[in-house]
Amino acid sequence: MPKVKTHSSSKKRFKITAKGKVKMSHAYRRHRLISKSRKAKKKHRLGAYASPADAATIKRLIPYK
């Protein structure tokens, strides 16, 4: 069986936890932060988990993680 290529941008953006969840960071934290509320900026500091529907797709993109 040949190896499957890993999707390079996905391996930089997502990590698989020990229990198999897909960990990621929030979007909307890079630029134009003045126009965003303090609450929104604070909420997006923390990590997040992908939804189960999206997690299946992401796991297919990073098969050896």
Q: Residue 15 corresponds to which amino acid? A: K
Q: Is the pLDDT of residue 65 over 90?
A: no
CATH for 8-61, options being 2.40.110.10, 4.10.410.60, 3.40.50.620, 2.60.40.10? 4.10.410.60
Question: What's the rounded Cα separation, in Å, for the pair 61 and 4?
Answer: 9
> Which candidate, 10, 8, 40, places its Cα nearest to that of 27?
40
Q: Chain-wide mean pLDDT for the chain?
A: 95
The domain locations on the chain are: 8-61
| pLDDT value of residue 1 | 85
pLDDT (tens digit per residue) in 10-31: 999 999 999 999 999 999 999 9
Average pLDDT over residues 28-35: 95
